[in-house]
């Protein structure tokens, strides 16, 4: 048995951690997640674990660089129009903005692959889902228009019934287009969401409201059960 809970309203891909991403009409889902998503990252080699990733927490200006995954290669555009590949020139560019000595993940320029083949390059699960209902609830609590880019969800789902809550999907599977996903866990948020994606202006009240309304949980992580393609408008079905 399956029940349709909504449809795919937006598809977003973020090839480089903490860089702006790209909007898609369709995407390919591989065993590790979305093709081209979160393949690359910068590192502070003086640290270990999660904290070794050099992100917008360390340098908010990183949000002003847009990354795309085109024909198997990473393309980056700066806000002033300059372009880069995933190479030493981009490393020099980001290094010039910080005193922290950084390195970058190594990928094969001809055919990039995620750093961790069973998951993805830099996060704790494969695919991130958010819903329009949760966005509206948080927007009302915060009192300002809320840009979904703050949450970097791969998919924004428009729910048929806004009383539904994506947290109830944890432990269950979703069918979307050709794809089946296993919903595994909440995404616990940090101060990065307080930064405006365009101006980088911060508002700590947003994180406070998120804690009050959602206990810092916003969106859910899912892993891949069946690969395939997902397109804008595809129905999202909850499988029993």
Determine the pLDDT at residue 51: 77
85-112: pLDDT as tens digits: 999 999 999 999 999 999 998 755 444 5
Asked whether residue 118 carries a pLDDT value surpassing 50, the answer given is: no
Residue 123, pLDDT above cutoff 80: no
How do beta strands 127-131 and 155-159 pair? parallel
Q: Residues 32-43: pLDDT tens digits?
A: 899 999 889 999
Q: Which of 106-110, 160-164, 227-231 has the lowest mean pLDDT?
A: 106-110
**What is the per-residue pLDDT for 107?**
59
| Average pLDDT in the chain | 91
Long-range contacts of 103-106 (CB under 8 A, 24+ apart): 103/42, 103/43, 103/45, 104/40, 104/41, 104/42, 104/43, 105/39, 105/40, 105/41, 105/42, 105/43
Work out the percent of the chain whose per-residue pLDDT is above 70: 91
Give the mean model confidence (pLDDT) for residues 126-145.
95
Residues with Cβ within 8 Å of residue 56, at least 6 apart in sequence: 18, 62, 63, 192, 195
């Amino acid at each position: 048995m399956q029940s349709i809970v909504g449809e795919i309203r937006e598809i977003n891909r973020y090839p480089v951690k903490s860089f702006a991403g790209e909007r898609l009409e369709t995407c390919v889902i591989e065993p590790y997640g979305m093709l081209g998503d979160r393949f690359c990252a910068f590192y502070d080699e003086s640290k270990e674990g999660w904290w070794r990733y050099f992100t917008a927490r360390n340098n908010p200006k990183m949000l002003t660089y847009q990354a795309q995954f085109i024909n198997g290669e990473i393309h980056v555009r700066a806000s002033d129009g300059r372009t880069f590949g995933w190479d030493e020139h981009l490393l020099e560019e980001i290094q010039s903005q910080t005193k922290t000595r950084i390195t970058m993940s190594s990928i094969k320029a001809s055919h990039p692959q995620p750093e961790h083949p069973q998951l993805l390059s830099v996060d704790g699960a494969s695919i991130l889902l958010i819903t329009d209902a949760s966005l509206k609830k948080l927007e009302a609590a915060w009192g300002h228009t809320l840009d979904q880019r703050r949450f970097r969800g791969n998919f924004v789902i428009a729910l048929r019934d806004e009383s539904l809550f994506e947290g109830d999907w944890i432990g269950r599977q979703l069918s979307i287009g050709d794809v089946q996903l296993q919903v595994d866990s909440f995404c616990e948020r940090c101060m990065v969401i307080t930064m405006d994606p365009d101006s980088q202006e911060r508002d700590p009240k947003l994180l406070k409201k998120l804690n009050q309304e959602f206990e810092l949980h916003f969106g859910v992580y899912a892993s891949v059960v069946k690969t395939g393609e997902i397109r804008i408008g595809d129905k999202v079905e909850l499988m029993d």
